[in-house]
Structure 1
Amino acid sequence: MIILLDNDTGPSDFINQIIKDYSHLPKKAEDVRKGAFYHLESNLYVLFTPLLPGDNYSSLEDFFEPKVLQMKYNGKSFDKSNNHDSSTTFGKDRFATYIVRENRKTIDFSLFKPILDSIIEIKKHFINLHPSK
């Protein structure tokens, strides 16, 4: 199982909890966020969205092309913040449901390669730990 999280301030409580629960992780949240992925236990991994050059934070939406992020829904623009003005913008849930799902056949997902590469590395790591599975 892979838990994929935005690499921003959103999962701060989660990061602090896994630091407390898993002694093999770095002791500082900012160091945890720099790692590609972490094997927590058994078949449980956590993967953060990769940090982009020059940025201290990243989210899944950062891996979409700008033209996808600029698509309108009911005349509203996308706002990835949790505190968006719903009268003029829409959030992540509507973005996933009405923009990504509805346009999945035409969206170029090639910018997601770093995330997919990390998933492949997790699979390799798991196979090395459990060669018979």
Structure 2
Amino acid sequence: MQYHYSRQEVTGVVVNQKVNISADYYATVSAMCDHLFKKGECHIDVGGTKQPFSIRKLRGRLAYIYQVRGKGPKHRQTADDKDDQVKGSQQRLWSSFKLFERFLNYADLYGVDRPVILCEGVTDNIYIKSAIQALAAKYPTLTNAVGDLKVKLFKYTKTSASVQQLGGGSGELLKLVNTYSSRTRKFKIAPKNPLILVADSDDGSKPLFKVIENRTGKKVDGSHAWYHLESNLYVVPIPKVGAADTPIEGLFEQILLDTTYEGKKFDRTNSEKDGTKFYGKKTFATKVVAANKGSINFGRFEPLLTAITEVIEDYKPKIAPSPVPALAPALV
């Protein structure tokens, strides 16, 4: 028999008056992350023996802790709290939430086993993947002959939005550039692959391009295909078509942009509300581009894919070689 105030624990979850994670469980996960950030790998103790533990499983444990604990302590809002919110105060965050955020930045942006391409949104990923696969013979660095990508396209999710503050859009790319140093400062190993941000060449990216110009001393005017900002962080602007502003959809031929689908026209702005007359970017990406990638002319995507390939090649010499362990003295 247990009293209502007794400690009750099931699968690492402590159930008292409220659900929580046991201190031992969290300490183990935290230690794994610490080793990962310092050495690039993590282990679990099994019967006194260290066994390799995959990043995928570690992600699962951190997601489990986040599911149980959330971002931070919840409390009833008082008049003082409302005043604080007006002054711009932020919610107090659990250390477990901060650890999860740091882990995701490591696993998805910094410590990845393939080059990462981070675009402005989900549909951009579909365009680029389709272009790479359609032009596979020209870009063996990016894919193999059967279309398996050798790069990773960053996937926007509810977790990336709520934990990493990465939900898509040019503003998120700017935020990532401005915070990348602080996001990665606790990682002690050199990243093995580049993180490549792909930004539309339009008004929405002007604040980002201003930061790039200030950091690199180079104009973002089409004279450079890509820019190295720091560590493994690069930016590739969408190549302009002529002198006009060019979002990624501008790389498609006009005949494709004029495609009628189920009697509707494509609205590139995603602002038309009349669903009986117009369809948006998601439908264009999935039903027009991905579904017909074998017959689409992706010629205007070639400068973009070439720039991405150049970034990958540029980063290779920057990878710090692994230290060679000293040889033990020979026994005489």
Category of TM-score, reference length = shorter chain:
0.7 to 0.9
Q: 1:25 to 1:91 in 2, by over 3 A?
A: farther
Offset, 1:83: 2.5
Give the partner amino acid of 2:294. K
Match of 1:7 in 2: 201
Q: Determine if contact 2:196/2:236 at 8 Å carries over to the other structure.
A: yes
- 3-state SS of paired residue (2:234): strand
Match of 1:84 in 2: 272
Q: Determine if contact 1:6/1:48 at 8 Å carries over to the other structure.
A: yes
Offset, 1:97: 1.7
Q: Determine if contact 1:26/1:32 at 8 Å carries over to the other structure.
A: no
TM-score (ref. length: structure 2)? 0.34
Distance 1:32 1:101 in 2: 30
Residue correspondence of structure 1 range 45-124 to structure 2 within 5 A: 45-55=234-244, 57-87=245-275, 88-124=277-313
Match of 1:126 in 2: 315
Offset, 1:120: 1.6
Match of 1:41 in 2: 230
Distance 2:280 2:265 in 1: 9
Q: Determine if contact 1:33/1:48 at 8 Å carries over to the other structure.
A: no
Give the partner amino acid of 2:299. S
Structure 2 unmatched runs, 5+: 1-194, 323-332
Structure possessing the higher relative contact order (Cα contacts under 8 Å, 6 or more residues apart): 1
TM-score (ref. length: structure 1)? 0.76
Structure of higher CA gyration radius: 2
Distance 2:209 2:263 in 1: 37
- 3-state SS of paired residue (2:250): helix
Q: Determine if contact 2:265/2:278 at 8 Å carries over to the other structure.
A: yes
**RMSD between superposed Cα atoms in Å:** 2.6
2:215 to 7, 24, 32: 24
Q: Determine if contact 1:82/1:91 at 8 Å carries over to the other structure.
A: yes
Distance 1:86 1:102 in 2: 24
